[in-house]
Amino acid sequence: MLKGLIEKLANKYCETAIMNRKYLHMYPELSFEEYNTAAFVKKQLDELHVAWQPMTETGVVAIIKGDLPSEKVVALRADMDALPIYEKNTTSYISLNEGVMHACGHDVHTASLLGTAYILQSLRSEFSGTVKLIFQPGEERIPGGASLMIKEGVLINPSPSAIIGQHIMPALQKGKIAICPGKFMASMDELYVKIKGRGGHGAQPHLTIDPVVIASHIIIALQQIVSRKAHPGKPTVLSFGKVKADGFINIIPEEVYMEGTFRAMDEEWREMAHKEMVKIATGVAESMGGSCEFKIIKGYPYLHNEEKLTGELRIYATNYLGEENIVTEGAWMAAEDFAYYTHQIDGFFYLLGTGKSDGKPDFSLHSPYLDIDESVFEISTGLMAYLALKKLGN
């Protein structure tokens, strides 16, 4: 009975969710700048007569309480921020904020959670317990909006026993979800490295201390962190995506600047690796006559799907979608600040298939061409409502 009611409402509100997503996609905002997005969410909640309160500067927390008696509480979360990417799509709802795009699907997450709110508000007389809706800013940027909202009390008054979140996955066919129990997503740290040498003429390298050569040796040497320092059973990623040497064809620069990322799934190893990276980089630089400043900004922890909760919600998801639409996923070395919640209470985070069925290629997350099969909202809104109400004991 509950499943049928939710499916009917998910179908009813699907077009509204699509319209909301298109609006959000047209007006994306960067991390901690989601003022218009938060205002839009508040307006939608007001029209639904759902009580909300602001949290952090651009976060919103809402409460939907069933009419039947129960003290149980579960939380649902959506992130709202966009990325600094120039969109290259040609749809009617392309981003109107130049250089900003919802290329990670947070417009989908927000519109989906609003759609779930429509369903839950319509079913108030049918269920017991309380659902806390968390519309969170700043997932894409350290320190992460989740950490700030936790500090401001998002997990108290009332206190949920569990939190559920989803993330779109274009590589996964629409209608399916992917689930990984235990350690699912990696911790993430930012690396900022400055190598100093002595510049000079490219034809007289013997009179210089070449920071380009030093930087090259450091990049290669640091790969020992992954290949020789990390336990083979502990997933580890170390990548440098920016190397800047402002010299010329015959000019050896004074310094080289690099930026990278370090990702892991073990907090003890993560701390050890930080020390090893600094030790290796400074040692290589000094051995070649230069110096190295190595700055590490610690980001999100690893994301842990609590095993018992994940097993329970997998059963509910199977009931709602069918066994053939549940995919078992392995660990993913991307990072998500939803991880902060999972280190405070039991958490469940799954991937929502949004792959289009029109034969066109499905571009990856963070692509300037990212788009989705919008009919997925009939699945995403209903599934999240079903998971929440079943977890509450309905």
337 is catalytic: no
Query: Per DSSP, what are the bridge partners of residue 255?
Result: 196
Cβ-in-10-Å burial (0-12, 13-18, 19+) of 297 comes to exposed
| Catalytic residue chosen out of the listed positions 81, 140, 306, 371 | 81
Q: How many whole angstroms from its chain centre is CA 213?
A: 36
In order of 238, 240, 242, 383, the CA distances from 337 in angstroms are 19, 21, 23, 22
Task: Judge whether 155 and 344 are in contact, CB under 8 Å.
Answer: yes
Dist. CA 37–CA 8, nearest whole Å: 28
| Catalytic residue chosen out of the listed positions 7, 34, 107, 139 | 139
Helix 106-122, helix 2-26: angle, nearest 10? 140
Cβ-in-10-Å burial (0-12, 13-18, 19+) of 67 comes to exposed
User: 149, 14, 155: which is closest to 73 by C-alpha?
Assistant: 155
Rounded to 5 degrees, φ, ψ at 224 are: -60, -25
Dist. CA 267–CA 255, nearest whole Å: 32
Dist. CA 328–CA 326, nearest whole Å: 7
81 is catalytic: yes
Dist. CA 193–CA 243, nearest whole Å: 9
Task: State the residue for tokens 């949004």.
Answer: 354
Residue numbers annotated as active site? 81, 139
